[in-house]
Amino acid sequence: MRRMVLTAIAAAIALPAVSAERGDFSNLARSRYVHCAFYKNYETDPVNGDPIMIEGRSNSLMHFQGIDAAHETAHAIYTRMAGQRDVLVRHTAKAIHFIDNVAGMYLLTTVHSCLDYDEKRGLCVTYGASLARLFDPAVIRDPDAVYEKIKASAEPGFCDHSFIGIQEASKSR
């Protein structure tokens, strides 16, 4: 079952972002915890040849907490670095960007689309995302423009938020 979901996610990441109501990132911005998994490359489904992401085989994981979109701050834990880091949050009309300045190199985590929309609750539960490493300080001023330039070379992935966060975010509307 989980493999099938990840196949659908991989296929959806290759498609353009979904309609505006399903591309609303407000619940994600209000969530207490956001978990992301990123992959260097897709694997190939031996049955149908579709690109797939297999749970447990991601190249890196990100965990964001204490997200405060109004003050543009969050805390991040990244499997490729030790300790918690403070990151910048930019919530634009197109995406939510988490930006970590690591001595002039920027880690740009962009949450850009809804992959799994729960019709019953009326909210997105799994988001398309990407992770890029770059040296362009313009990412601070205009993360959407920088993302457009580098998205083809960024690592694909997906994010979800804690169910606690979903309940809290939906109550605070």
| pTM, full prediction | 0.77
Phi first, then psi, for residue 97 (nearest 5°) are -115, 130
Instruction: Give the pLDDT confidence of 130-166 residue by residue, as tens digits.
Output: 999 999 999 999 999 999 999 999 998 989 886 544 4
| Structural domain that includes position 35 | 2-171
Query: What does the DSSP assignment read for 30-92?
Result: H-SEEEEEE-SS-EE-TTT--EE--TT--SEEEEEEEEETTTTEEEEEETTSSSEEEEEEEE-
Number of domains in the chain: 1
Full DSSP string of 75-90 = EEEETTSSSEEEEEEE
Read off the pLDDT of residues 8-56 as tens digits, 9 standing for 90 and up.
444 444 434 443 345 678 778 888 889 998 887 777 888 888 777 766 6
Cα–Cα distance, 69 to 133 (Å, whole number): 22
